[in-house]
Structure 1
Amino acid sequence: MSTQTPEVTRLTERWDRFRAGRNTALASEHGWLTLTSFQWLPDAPSTVDGLPGLWSTDGTTAALTAGPDDSLTLVEGGAPVSGIITATLQDEESLLWVQSGSVVVELGMRANRYMIRTRDSQSATLTQFTAVPVFGYNPELVFTGIFERYPEPREVDITTANPEVPGTAVLVGDVVFELAGTTYRLAAEQGPLGSLIVTFFDDTNNVSSSHWRKVELTRPRPDGTVTVDFNRAINYPSAFTDYGTCPAPMDGNRINATIEAGERNPR
């Protein structure tokens, strides 16, 4: 006979719906599970591995030269690429630019350098995907914390999953909560619709979970309280692919405990 309380049953059902939505989003046709390469654009028109055409950048603008035999089309509108096309992005922006068969080429600006990544809808990571492995739902890893907003946002330097790509994080405050008698203070970024994003290390990293994870908290209540539900901890794209440039946590965002909740290491 089950001893699960009605409240835990309700929360578990909500978590199951969250997991189903997460798996559906990951399995999109040219989403994060389809990345198959990462290359910096050369300074002079040149070939790049695995793609037709000549690719280059002058530091400000990206350019691609291709002809009918290259069979490249624009992702937006589907027109064939003939001659020279260009695109200009700001740092951290991305554009699904051109397509060749099942492969879409993403143009991006990272650390003020132009890069391209290929996204192949026939990649084994996507075609063999069923669901992200997870720890079972654990109501004991749901906490009430306090959000302490900074007077002004703070921009800090961080590392990323790609050693050639330094990053920055804009932090808006600290989330303070207690776990196993220890008080933790984790820096948070602003998320959509007033939510908070906390990127963190814990003792499961590189053992049963990936190198780090993140958890989105709902908008703080009027009294500053927030729910910290580690069952909703998810992997960054770099957990699934070697071609991510995902932000690492600040050194201070380290939990000295095994957070066996949320997503496990998919690899």
Structure 2
Amino acid sequence: MSEFSDGWNRWRQQRWAAVDGEFGIAALVATHWLSTTPQALPGLPGEWHVERGDIVGDDLTIEAGGEALLGGVLLKHMQRDDQIALRVFDPDSPGRTSLDRIDVFPLDAEWKTHGVFTPAVDESVGIEAIDGYVQDTAVAGHVRFEIGGESASFVVTGEGPEKFATFGDATNGVDTYGFRFLRIRVEGDDGAAIVDFNRAYLPNCAFADGYVCPLPPASNRLHVRVPAGERAVVRGD
């Protein structure tokens, strides 16, 4: 097999491990938004509240960015602006145990193209999440490229050589989920970037309720079909 297909197959294996792992993406069962007032949470003992940015239970404290095991489930601290939530991951959740596979389009080099990354200077954009919340997000820059005969420019975020984009295309709602994610690697000081839609992947919210995935900004919605990358979650009987 070629280096191109070998790399894609390794990427698919890594994606499946991230989704179907014991406490992977598909194992999420709840996202509980908390306040300073203690409250009981379904399936968890005691009461839970926020104290100086930490999540505090009766006998457990989870610091910002932290996690803890409790009775076979994994609890994770999540923060969005000044909002704090407790996420619960259960390896026995139906969302994980019913998974069969992730359906993908066939690998096709036509959907791997070159682009140019231009850094942004003090730029931000309001990104709407799937629950309607709008978060002011720092823009890393813009990636210009051509795909399917269309010129496009994606708003991207992230530090380092790998940038992140949420995008839509004409397959959404027909052959694919409503939108997808893509990592774009910037190589070299000249801004040269690799835009490989064969590695477009489903957002976390395609696997479990409770995720608050970012929706594509207007500039990241393509008018053409992009039949590449992950299509849909397939579940067993």
Q: Deviations over 1:188-234 (max 9, x none)?
A: 1135x412222211111222222211211222334332221100111
The one of 229, 238, 250 equivalent to 2:217 is 250
Question: Does the alignment pair 1:159 with 2:128?
Answer: yes
The answer as to whether partners of 1:46 and 1:54 remain within 8 angstroms in 2 is yes
Question: Does the alignment pair 1:170 with 2:138?
Answer: yes
Pairing of 1:39-118 with structure 2 (within 5 A): 39-57=32-50, 60-65=53-58, 81=59, 85-89=60-64, 94-100=65-71, 102-118=72-88
Unaligned runs of 5+ in 1: 1-5, 66-80
Q: Which residue of structure 2 lines up, in the alignment, with residue 236 of structure 1?
A: 203
Unaligned runs of 5+ in 2: none
The letter of the residue matching 1:51 is L
Q: Which residue of structure 2 lines up, in the alignment, with residue 33 of structure 1?
A: 26
Q: Which residue of structure 2 lines up, in the alignment, with residue 71 of structure 1?
A: none
The answer as to whether partners of 2:138 and 2:157 remain within 8 angstroms in 1 is yes
The answer as to whether partners of 2:104 and 2:229 remain within 8 angstroms in 1 is yes
Q: Which residue of structure 1 lines up, in the alignment, with residue 96 of structure 2?
A: 126
Q: TM-score, normalised by structure 1?
A: 0.79
1:262 deviation in Å?
Answer: 0.5
Count of paired positions: 234
CA distance in structure 1 between the partners assigned to 2:138 and 2:66 by the alignment: 23
SS in structure 2 at match of 1:44: coil
CA distance in structure 2 between the partners assigned to 1:10 and 1:62 by the alignment: 46
Q: Which residue of structure 1 lines up, in the alignment, with residue 150 of structure 2?
A: 182
The answer as to whether partners of 1:105 and 1:116 remain within 8 angstroms in 2 is yes
1:27 deviation in Å?
Answer: 2.0
CA 51–181 in structure 1, closer or farther in 2 if over 3 Å, else same: same
CA 220–246 in structure 1, closer or farther in 2 if over 3 Å, else same: same
1:162 deviation in Å?
Answer: 2.5
SS in structure 1 at match of 2:140: strand
Q: Which residue of structure 2 lines up, in the alignment, with residue 210 of structure 1?
A: 177
Q: 227-236 or 128-137, which moves further after superposition?
A: 128-137
1:58 deviation in Å?
Answer: 5.2
CA distance in structure 2 between the partners assigned to 1:245 and 1:182 by the alignment: 30
SS in structure 1 at match of 2:176: coil
SS in structure 1 at match of 2:6: helix
SS in structure 1 at match of 2:48: strand
Q: Deviations over 1:152-176 (max 9, x none)?
A: 242221111223x432332122111
Q: Deviations over 1:108-145 (max 9, x none)?
A: 22231221221101112222334321111111111111
The answer as to whether partners of 1:167 and 1:247 remain within 8 angstroms in 2 is no
The answer as to whether partners of 1:153 and 1:173 remain within 8 angstroms in 2 is no
The answer as to whether partners of 1:104 and 1:119 remain within 8 angstroms in 2 is yes
1:98 deviation in Å?
Answer: 4.4
Structure having greater relative contact order (Cα 8 Å, sep ≥ 6): 2
Q: Which residue of structure 1 lines up, in the alignment, with residue 231 of structure 2?
A: 264
The answer as to whether partners of 2:18 and 2:25 remain within 8 angstroms in 1 is no
Q: Which residue of structure 2 lines up, in the alignment, with residue 138 of structure 1?
A: 108
CA 119–87 in structure 1, closer or farther in 2 if over 3 Å, else same: closer
Q: TM-score, normalised by structure 2?
A: 0.88
1:59 deviation in Å?
Answer: 6.8
Q: Deviations over 1:54-83 (max 9, x none)?
A: 112357443212xxxxxxxxxxxxxxx3xx
CA 96–229 in structure 1, closer or farther in 2 if over 3 Å, else same: same
